Amino acid sequence: MEKIICIFGASSTWGAWDYEKGGWVNRLRLYLDSKDSDIFLYNLGVSGDTTKDLLKRFDCECKARKPDLLIFSIGDNDSIYIPSEKKNLVSLTQFEINFENLISKAKKYSKDIIFLGFKKIDENKTTPIPWKTEYHYTNEYINLYDKKLESICKKNKVQYLKMYDLLQNKDFEDGLHPNTSGHQKMYLKIKSYLVKNKLI
């Protein structure tokens, strides 16, 4: 029986810096293809996306594909700290509102919804990030926003998969994006979770 999986996220979902197999999402697709399954996986990661950006395109993407399973890896860009403005890119309050809206929309398309927690990063390389020096990624804020995401998922009875301690500094290309080994670790954990819960 045919099954549609839609995976939403930003640059790490899209597959940035995995020159070997195109990222953890594509690794999952290759695994499913090798099983000759009737599962069709769509990578809907857009570099730089925040929860606000995803909300703008979410309905359009889902209506076109009619997903049976929704996986989200989104929100770490929301936690970006901007020292010059003394604020985060998306406030924690707005972050919660955006996720509540996203979950409400997601439930209209599928009962199987998974949110991936945020990755701890190598902040020695991300404060600031070289390509946009007004932006800082810090583990303090990533952890804060991750805990908020976990509580939102619990409240709304959707699945949450913790990722915070999975990767070490050596698993990052630039302190923020996983390299090949980082993407492989993410793929193995996510695949294991999906198999264990009989979602693939």
Burial readout 33-71 (b: 16 or more C-beta within 10 A, e: otherwise): eeeeeebbbbbbbbeebbbbbbbeebeebbeeeebbbbb
* Cα–Cα dist 191/169, whole Å: 22
What average pLDDT score do residues 100-120 get?
A: 98
- Residue 169: count other Cβ atoms within 10 Å of its Cβ: 12
* Cα–Cα dist 9/72, whole Å: 6
pLDDT tens digits for 85-95?
999 999 999 99
Q: Which of 115, 195, 109, 99 is nearest to 158 (CA)?
A: 115
Structural domains for the chain: 3-196 (3.40.50.1110)
For tokens 């399973």, the residue is 69
Provide the pLDDT confidence category of residue 84 given band limits of 50, 70 and 90.
very high
* Cα–Cα dist 95/99, whole Å: 6
State residue 175's pLDDT score.
97
- What mean pLDDT is reported for the chain? 97
Distances (CA, A) of 9 to 38, 51, 78, 134, 198: 23, 9, 12, 22, 23
Provide the pLDDT confidence category of residue 64 given band limits of 50, 70 and 90.
very high
* Cα–Cα dist 140/143, whole Å: 5
pLDDT above 90 for 37: no
pLDDT above 90 for 36: no
What average pLDDT score do residues 174-193 get?
A: 98
**Identity of the residue numbered 170:** K
